Amino acid sequence: MIISIGGAQGSGKSTLARQLAERLGWPHYFMGGLRRETARKRGLSLAEYNKLGEADPQTDLEVDEFQRLLGETSDNFVIEGRTSWHFIPHSLKLFLDVSPEEGARRILNDLESRPEEVQKHFTLDDLKLILAERKASDELRYRKYFNIEVYDQKNYDFLINTTHLTIEETLEKVWEIIDKQLKA
């Protein structure tokens, strides 16, 4: 079984994917991490790299080809990425949603817990604007290059709104879904 996790920013995708992979004893792949690392190697922020991607499809194609090949050659892993559902269509597709306010609050709390990685202090309003711009860039790129609506929940098998859930509650809800799939 391959489990792909997508969804809204700040919904808990990364934490869930890591914990789920650990619980299953499976590898975890994080496409956002690959994009951030590539941006860093080019001396760009993720926002700058995404903006570059609006004109240069190669910024997305590298990661997406990796996903496609991984889905064709491997099994029993958890993958987190906005387009994973599309490039690994036979995966169990989970979408985590969260209100924009709560998503921004979670990301801000995470950034504040890692001050060594943050060079600028963000307010909640700053972060909500940055996240809205990032979402718009994602939607533009994926529509332009793949003709897909990356945040359309109809593309997923299961939807979980995490706005009022802890990560532990989210993990248990997802575990119930996976357990049923594994026993089917």
Domain ranges across the chain: 2-175
2-175 has CATH 3.40.50.300 classification: yes
- Provide the token pair at 100: 């924009």
Instruction: Tell me how far apart the alpha carbons of residues 141 and 139 are, in angstroms, rounded to a whole number.
Output: 6
How confident is the model over 16-25, as a mean pLDDT? 95
Give the model confidence (pLDDT) of 72-103 as tens digits: 999 999 999 989 999 999 999 999 999 999 99
Query: By C-alpha distance, which of 73, 33, 47, 74 is closest to 138?
Result: 47
Q: Under a CB-based contact definition with an 8 Å cutoff, are residues 97 and 153 in contact?
A: yes
Give the model confidence (pLDDT) of 110-122 as tens digits: 877 765 555 566 7
Coil, helix or strand at residue 64: helix
Q: Under a CB-based contact definition with an 8 Å cutoff, are residues 102 and 173 in contact?
A: no
Q: What is the per-residue pLDDT for 147?
A: 94
Give the model confidence (pLDDT) of 120-134 as tens digits: 667 889 889 989 998
User: Which residues, 6 or more positions from 128, have their beta carbon under 8 angstroms from its beta carbon?
Assistant: 100, 101, 104
Is 0.75 topped by the overall pTM? yes
Position with higher pLDDT, 116 vs 13: 13
Give the model confidence (pLDDT) of 26-64 as tens digits: 999 998 888 888 888 989 887 788 788 888 888 878 888
Torsion of CA 137, 34, 96, 16, to 10 degrees: -160
Instruction: Tell me how far apart the alpha carbons of residues 6 and 131 are, in angstroms, rounded to a whole number.
Output: 15
How confident is residue 24, by pLDDT bands cut at 50, 70 and 90? very high
- Whether residue 184 has pLDDT greater than 90: no
**If you ran DSSP here, which 8-state letter would residue 118 be given?**
-
Position with higher pLDDT, 137 vs 158: 158
Neighbours of 99 (CB within 10 A): 15
Query: By C-alpha distance, which of 38, 63, 50, 58 is closest to 132?
Result: 50
